[in-house]
């Protein structure tokens, strides 16, 4: 049960949930990362822009 309460696992579930709702991949990565940062306070908010830029760089074909 502790594994299901892990912020990384919940962020992964959010990511797959947004994909199931037909969100674009890079938007789903950014929003799941942002939700993990805000809800669980697992990182400083200064890291959040890197989540969005990193997700766009990871999928250059989708970002163009």
DSSP code of residue 46 = G
Asked if the model's pLDDT at residue 62 lies above 70, the reply is no
Give the separation between CA 37 and CA 44, rounded to whole angstroms.
7
Dihedral sign (CA 20, 12, 46, 42): positive
pLDDT tens digits along 15-56: 888 888 888 877 777 777 777 777 776 666 565 565 556 555
- pLDDT confidence tier of residue 13, bands split at 50, 70 and 90: confident
Q: What is the pLDDT, as a whole number, of residue 21?
A: 86
Asked if the model's pLDDT at residue 11 lies above 70, the reply is yes
* Residue 11 near residue 36 (C-beta atoms within 8 A): yes
Among 35, 47, 46, 45, which Cα is nearest to 9's?
Answer: 35
Q: What is the largest CA-CA distance in the chain?
A: 40
């Amino acid at each position: 049960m502790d594994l299901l309460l892990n912020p990384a696992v919940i962020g992964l579930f959010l990511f797959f949930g947004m994909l199931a709702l037909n969100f674009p991949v890079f938007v789903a990565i950014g929003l799941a990362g942002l939700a993990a940062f805000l809800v669980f306070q697992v990182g400083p908010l200064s890291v959040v822009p890197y989540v969005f830029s990193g997700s766009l760089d990871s999928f250059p074909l989708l970002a163009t």
